[in-house]
Every structure is written in C-alpha cells, then in structure tokens.
Amino acid sequence: MEDFLLSVLIFGLPGLALLTAWGLAWSGRWRTWAVKQPGPFIFTQRNYDPMYLGVGGVAVLCIWPAVFASLARAEYAETLWTVLLVIFVPIVFGMRWWWPAAVTPRWHKEWVARGGTEETPLWGPGEQVPARAARKGWA
C-alpha cells in the first residue's frame, strides 16, 4: 500500500497537475500563454507550452504502469517500455518543430485568424472578457 501511495505522489499528482494546466488552456480560462514567445529549444512560430504540458501529463501517467511493471519484474515490462518509447520519443522531439493547428483550442484558432499577435485581443468580439483578465489588462 505504501508503494502505491508513493507512486501516486511521484507520478499521479504531477501528471494531473500537467493535465490541469492543459485543461485551463484548452478551455480558454488561461489564454495569456498564447501571446508569449516560444521557449528555448522550441522552433515553432507560436507558443504552445500548455499543449506540451498536456502531452507531458499523458506521458507521465502512461509511464506510471511501466514503472510498476518494472518494479514487479513483470515479463511484459520491457515490451511496455519499448512501446512507450516508440510512441513518446518521436512526439516529444517532433513537437519542438511542429504543432498541428488541428490540435489547438477553438479560441486559439480564432485568435490566430484575427491576427495572432501581441496586439490582437485574446478574446473575440462576441466573447465576454472575464473580470480578472480585464483587470490585468488582457482584454
């Protein structure tokens, strides 16, 4: 039981935290990331950091059973690691250069269509700007 609780602290909570940040960005409750420049070693035109966090959250949660299998010395542990590496390594390296527009939130696509610059409002003409964002000057 203690091993399970420890694994929840090591994998479950960080994975859920990453997915929470992704969920806030996807829903449009967190939009300020869109106007920032991409981080170091990211070669896309736009900043997609929360989308990367979502991929990271999924990766952490997928690695969790693989670590359990390895610790239990399960016969399928090596196969599980191989499958995860074949899936996530190309995704992690590929998303540094390209992020498909189809996998961005609707509000982000609309923002890009309106110009997608620092001067372009993050909220469209028909959207209500949350009071908190308006106070911070993001309207």
**pLDDT(14) > 70:** yes
pTM above 0.85, yes or no: no
Count CA atoms within 13 Å of residue 105 on its CB side. Answer: 22
Torsion of CA 64, 70, 73, 78, to 10 degrees: 110
Predicted confidence at residue 92, as pLDDT, reads 87
pLDDT in tens, 23-79: 999 999 999 999 999 988 889 989 999 999 999 999 999 898 888 888 888 899 999
Q: What is the mean pLDDT of the chain?
A: 89
Residue 96 Cα distances to 28, 48, 119, angstroms: 23, 10, 25
φ, ψ dihedrals at 125, nearest 5°:
-60, -35
Contact 47, 37 (CB under 8 A): yes
pLDDT in tens, 74-119: 899 999 999 999 999 999 889 889 999 889 999 999 999 999 988 8
